[in-house]
Amino acid sequence: MQFCDDCGSMMKSEDGVWVCSSCGAEQARGDDEGMVTTTDQEDSEIVDTSEIDEEVGPTTDAQCPECDNDRARWELKQIRAADESETRFFTCTECGHKWREDDH
């Protein structure tokens, strides 16, 4: 990724040069060794997760509100704005009950 020296906007690669998408300034690309650029969607592969055992993942001490079991699998997801904390989702290892915890 390259940023424009003139206006600070992100530049894109066109015909061996960096071109600013805002002001049109151009810069030589130089040596791109170690840089990987992907534009071909055919190389992408869809991963089928439907047959993955759900009993994979980290566990923690968490009291299930349904069966009082003291272990649960957990995961974090960002479901609100980026400047807010993630939501913790739990699944009881005993009964499979699911619940979540939010920071207030």
Q: Please check if 81 is assigned to a binding site.
A: no
Q: Please check if 54 is assigned to a binding site.
A: no
Q: Please check if 4 is assigned to a binding site.
A: yes
Cβ neighbourhood burial of 11 (10 Å; 0-12, 13-18, 19+): buried
Q: Please check if 68 is assigned to a binding site.
A: no
Contacts of 29 (CB under 8 A, 6+ apart): 13, 16, 17, 18
Q: Please check if 96 is assigned to a binding site.
A: no
Binding residues: 4, 7, 20, 23, 64, 67, 92, 95
Q: Which residues are annotated as a binding site for Zn(2+)?
A: 4, 7, 20, 23, 64, 67, 92, 95
